[in-house]
Amino acid sequence: MEKRHTIEFYKKLGLKITPQRLAILEYLENNRDHPSAEDIYNALKDRFPSMSFATVYNTLEVLMEKGLVKELGIDSSKKRFDPVVHTHHHFICKKCGRILDVERNFEITIPPELKDCDIVDFQVVFSGFCPNCKNK
Ligand SMILES: [Zn+2]
Ligand SMILES: [Zn+2]
């Protein structure tokens, strides 16, 4: 979802394209805000008054199945979604919930208790207070 995908691209994935779905896809493209389903719904509901929350959620589920969106479990108050699916890390602000991307390779040693596991991914999560919140 980092580069602009065409309708053909989504059709090839077997995604049924509706104007609402397309708007959701466009909203997610190049989006680095890690929106929740509610954020997406609120951003688009004025343009698509008939759009239901379920449409947003179903579309996210399909995109996750296709590997185009990742679900982030780092915000305890709500699920957040990330259209940037290559391995990267995050900072979450404990006050405003802002999630920032951390694009860096952390060298870690696989702990011995996991030696029998097939590790495919790991994530470093920093938490604290963002520049807007730290002095308040
Ligand atoms: Zn903050
Ligand atoms: Zn991210």
Residue 32 belongs to domain with CATH number: 1.10.10.10
Span 21-64, pLDDT tens digits: 989 999 998 899 999 999 999 999 999 999 999 999 999 999 99
Give the pLDDT band of residue 3 (cuts 50, 70, 90): low
Query: SS3 helix, strand, coil % of the chain, rounded to 5?
Result: 30, 15, 55
Q: What pTM was computed for the model?
A: 0.85
13 plus 40 within the same structural domain: yes
CATH number for the domain spanning 99: value is: 3.30.1490.190
Q: The tokens of 121 are what?
A: 């991914």
Whole-number pLDDT of residue 18: 87
The span from the CA of 1 to the CA of 3, in Å, is: 6
For residue 2, being part of any structural domain is answered with no
Q: How many CB atoms lie within 10 A of CB 26?
A: 13
Measured in angstroms, how far is the CA atom of residue 86 from the centroid of ligand 1?
25
Domain that holds residue 28: 7-72
Measured in angstroms, how far is the CA atom of residue 31 from the centroid of ligand 2?
9
Higher pLDDT, 27 or 16: 27
Is 117 annotated to bind ligand? no
Q: The tokens of 38 are what?
A: 């509610």
64 plus 91 within the same structural domain: no
19 plus 68 within the same structural domain: yes
Structural domain total, the chain: 2
3-state SS class at 2: coil
42 plus 92 within the same structural domain: no
